Chains A and B, each alone.
Chain A
């Protein structure tokens, strides 16, 4: 019980840390913030329920006024923009990612984690975020997709990284991968 709560709290802090890291420049030179990678890893490492709770905790603190979003943004205002669909989708994305992790334990962890992150934190997230943007910004589907397209390559790279990182965590601290632990 204590362990669950501390893990949820510290992973929610990790989402903030990843958002505040200096922008990581990838091979192709696209600068990305790692915040959504934090959301993916919450689902991947903590599993569905705890992962979603960690993200909810993070979002609550943003709403209460802490500048924890990438670029030091925060407060109630960020939830009113058309991009807020991503924020509202984050807990669901983490839940889906964690759910997939919990269901597929027989494959190598890097593969499962990348797949779970791809399905949960890209497909599911964009399915929520695009309609939200369409309504908020009064745009049609293709315009919305076009607006978001610069972020999609970075997101796909983050999925692959989530696989590598999950593999590293699983190798060095196997007990901490709560989504794969047998007892619950």
Chain B
């Protein structure tokens, strides 16, 4: 399965994830309180430099990730225009753009395995209230391993539908997808138990 992150190395890849996330939250809070469109534009230009400092590919990836947001921003801007709040609308949209691109920058420059490691480290305190963090790690691993399998399964079922039926595929395909996955789940649970359980 494709990840959103791009391959390193770069200066941003070398930074520790904890620092990146701490910086992200700190800067995001500051940006949230900025109401000046000029300052926000400066941030936006800064972000372009930030992405390019990693690589041009990173910049392209960052812009690609922005695409689904365009409609959201356009809609918000139009609503503000209708109310005659040109400046407030522009500020809101710019802020959204900056926050979104900044958060994506961390994702783009961080390896999935490092992110998971950090996530599990953050969850450590849960042990104090009796949560088994090892099972969270197992569950994460299972989703990563099984999701491509499940997608493949869904594709096969859709294909066999098309091969046999005259009607176009519709929501009824969801039931067999669920049934096969439930059967898988029972077998996997059995297999884990047979190997000593959790």
Contacts and interface: CB of A to CB of B under 8 A. Distances in A.
Interface of A: 1-3, 5-14, 16-18, 20-22, 24-26, 34, 37, 41, 45, 57-58, 60-61, 64-68, 71-77, 79-83, 136-139, 143, 147, 161, 164-165, 168-169, 172-173, 176
Interface in B165-187: 168-171, 173-175, 177-179, 181-186
A65 B21 CA distance: 13
Contact of A2 (B24, B89, B175, B197): B197
Contacts, number: 188
Interface stretch (B8-16, B38-46, B50-58, B104-112): B104-112
B23 to A, nearest CB: 12
B140 interface: yes
B24 to A, nearest CB: 7
Contacts of B185: 3, 6-7, 10, 176
Nearest to B184: A10
Contacts of B100: 77, 80-81
A5 B135 contact: yes
Given A7-B185, A76-B104, A169 B139 contact: no
B189 A3 contact: yes
A67 B178 CA distance: 21
22 contacts: A2-B198, A3-B186, A5-B139, A7-B185, A9-B139, A9-B146, A14-B178, A24-B170, A24-B171, A57-B136, A57-B139, A57-B140, A64-B115, A64-B116, A66-B112, A77-B65, A77-B101, A80-B100, A81-B69, A137-B76, A138-B80, A143-B79
Majority SS of interface residues in chain A? helix
Please classify the interface of chain B as helix (H, G, I), strand (E, B), loop, or mixed, using the class held by over half of its residues. Answer: helix
B76 A76 contact: no
A5 B198 contact: yes
A44 B6 CA distance: 37
B179 A173 contact: yes
Contact of B144 (A3, A37, A61): A61
B5 interface: yes
